[in-house]
Amino acid sequence: MSMWVIPCIMSAGAALLLGAILFSKRGRNPIFGPLALVMGILALIHGLTAWSALSSGNSFFGKQLIFFGEMAFPVGLCFVNATFLRHFSPTSIQRTHKNILWIGMGAAILSLCLFVWPESLMQQTNKGEVVFSRSVGLVMWSFILLSLVVGLSQLEQILRATRDPLRFQMKFVLIGLGGLAGISIAQASQLLLLPVWSQTNRWVGGIAACISLALIAFGLVRWRLHDLSQKVQVSHQALYTSLTFLFVGGYMILVGIVAEVIKETGWQIGEALGALVIFVAGIGLVIVIVSRQARAELQQFISRHFFRTKYDYRQKWLEVTKAFSACDDSQQIWDRYLEWLGRTFGAPRVTIWKKFEVDGKFHQIRTVNSEDPPQPIQDKHPLIQRMLINKEPFVIGDEGGENEGLRDFLQGTKAHICIPLVTPEEDVLGFCTLSKELHDRSYDHDDFDLLRAIAHHVTMLLIQFQLVEERSVTAKWEAVHRFSGFYLHDLKNLASSLSMVVQNAELYGQDPDFQASAMRTVRTTSQRMMDLMAKLASQSKGLEAEKESQIQAVDMNELIQETLESLNGSGCRPTFHPGTDIPKGQVQVEPIKQVLLNLILNARQAMEGKGSIDIVTVSDGQDLKIEVVDTGPGIPLDRLESLFHPFKSSKKTGLGVGLFQCKQMVEDNHGQIRIESQEGHGTKVTLTFPALITDT
């Protein structure tokens, strides 16, 4: 009998010892507490199993406690999984809590039945075996089986959610827990077919538990030793001094032995020769010690063979260049950057932010989480201001209490590390944030070195693609101007067709056949003209018209009123709210009118006859602003990002140059255009121009 219970005693002792260690260190890591609970349940199961096997009376109450532990084990396993998932996959924690609640309620009900009506649920034979009634065994072991399957699926979800290096560090802990769940699933499956719990189950379960506990212990030891190796390091100077001392000492001992051997040869000059050897060796040693090259070689040897960095930078660089080499545009660069950050670091939350030219704000464009993105932040945000001062990765820390905007940002992103993407001209293209690594691991200098190098590489790639896009736009504009002559030639031919109809109408205007033919010609020609003009309308005045326009002092309220009077056709008519004491602005009249007309027509088309358009003028004394606000459907975030990019239009017949040309016209007048929009909440366009300062 003793051979059957040895595995149970070993597994109970190992679980008890491991649980006590984890319980004593539960304050250092939130996962240690739930793990200690699972270890306690295992110690209860296998300890009582061994005691009931060795006990002469075969206590029936002990058997009840064993099966209570069998039902409590899935609850403890799900509790451990929930603690893991809280860090790795916050979006699934709500579903995990529901699973724990249902499994806990089921275990509580079955345990209550087990202790209230034990005799009617199970019987103990003379051999110490426990036999369950068919219906009770089916319900009990089906519940345990399903609960363990849920726990095992959660372990698989944790392994998928984690990334290296955390997966490498903790995989044996998860594998050990999976082994415990696996052997319990196998036993529950057997008991579903034959509800008899015999001695064979004892030693098989004990051996499997010993193996699984060994894996868990190995994983925990490697986990903690990894932290220790990252925190405790011998300085280069201390190791250099120690090895130099050992080298010099060993060298002098060797020289002394050689000198003594020479003396023992019996030569007449042996003693003098030995002294000479010591002298020459000493001189040579001094020369080597003071040699700069010798010191450099020794330090290189120490760095190569006694120290290692956290990352293999050569391998990392090959990995990065391979990932980014297949990118065809800037969007793919952002995607690859997010994948690399999530794969390299163990941060549960990673976000990437980009500055949108359309509104001058920083928007979250990429994240590994599925929560709603935080609100965009202004370029005056304290985090952006710090990036302009400190252009390298830095720790944000707990600075949220000093500023409400920063506090809201940290609360929404859980950011701990900020990595700016700053151009050589000190323009912030964007930035990314990393939350604290699991279990509050700290980022060391190797992490910051790697983040700095990759951020610089990504910034250069984005600048390169931006230059490529600008060249592509220039080439397209050249193509437009090249073919505009052909379009004008077609328009001339079409106009000639209409002219012929007018001339013939004087002679054959009363002829029904001529009328029908003329209408077909007018309809066809007008449609072709509209198609051509739709392509050329945004550039019909072109650069030459802008050059002819003269900058002059303009009353903006009068300019807007004249623009509104020129509107015709159906559609919502804007409401103008002129501001008081609005200073004049120095602008080109016709281009600014064209900009306003374009904005109003865009708002009309977006609202499709429903909603309102308000135009407001305001001034702070130095700048004057024109605000065009509509109550339309708003602009989606993906379109807002590229709203000023030419040849990208959401209209089937549009060339995508309207807003691009508006931006050019406003900037040619030393102004600025900003567009704020949120899908479902309308759009606000702000034109800002410098006010004309007059001497009073």
Res 156: pLDDT: 77
Q: Which residues contact 111 (CB under 8 A, 6 or more apart)?
A: 68, 71, 72
Average the pLDDT over 243-259 and give the result.
77
- Most confident listed range (19-23, 265-269, 305-309, 434-438): 19-23
CB-CB contact of 154 with 80 (8 Å): no
CB-CB contact of 504 with 514 (8 Å): yes
Q: Is pLDDT of 228 > 60?
A: no
Res 229: pLDDT: 44
116-125, 453-462, 635-644: range with lowest mean pLDDT: 116-125
Res 353: pLDDT: 92
Please tell me the CATH code under which domain 544-690 is placed: 3.30.565.10
Average the pLDDT over 147-159 and give the result.
81
Give the residue extent of every domain in the chain.
2-231, 236-305, 470-539, 544-690
Average the pLDDT over 469-495 and give the result.
63
Q: What is the mean pLDDT of the chain?
A: 77
Report which of 552, 564, 613, 615 is spatially closest to residue 588, judged by C-alpha positions.
552
Average the pLDDT over 128-149 and give the result.
76
Give the span between the Cα atoms of 1 and 663, in whole angstroms.
Answer: 89
Distances (CA, A) of 326 to 322, 336, 450, 455, 472: 7, 10, 21, 18, 19
Q: Is pLDDT of 389 > 90?
A: no
Give the span between the Cα atoms of 337 and 339, in whole angstroms.
Answer: 5
Average the pLDDT over 392-420 and give the result.
80
Q: Is pLDDT of 696 > 80?
A: no
Residues paired with 451 in a beta bridge: none
What would the pLDDT profile of 662-675 be if each residue is shown by its tens digit?
888 888 888 999 99
Q: Which residues contact 402 (CB under 8 A, 6 or more apart)?
A: 382
- Most confident listed range (70-74, 94-98, 376-380, 455-459): 455-459
Res 687: pLDDT: 92
Q: Is pLDDT of 230 > 60?
A: no
Greater model confidence, 503 or 22: 22
Greater model confidence, 40 or 492: 40
Q: Is pLDDT of 484 > 80?
A: no
- Most confident listed range (156-170, 251-265, 293-307): 251-265
681: number of Cβ within 10 Å: 12
Average the pLDDT over 203-209 and give the result.
78
Q: Which residues contact 188 (CB under 8 A, 6 or more apart)?
A: 141, 144, 145, 148
69-78, 506-515, 559-568, 670-679: range with lowest mean pLDDT: 506-515
What would the pLDDT profile of 331-344 be if each residue is shown by its tens digit?
889 999 988 888 88
CB-CB contact of 172 with 219 (8 Å): yes
132-146, 185-199, 434-448, 549-563: range with lowest mean pLDDT: 185-199
Residues paired with 585 in a beta bridge: 554, 691
Q: Which residues contact 6 (CB under 8 A, 6 or more apart)?
A: 203, 206
Report which secondary-structure segment, H or E, holds 307: none
Res 528: pLDDT: 65
Res 628: pLDDT: 92
| Fold observed for domain 2-231 | Rhopdopsin 7-helix transmembrane proteins (1.20.1070)
Q: Is pLDDT of 385 > 90?
A: no
Res 195: pLDDT: 66
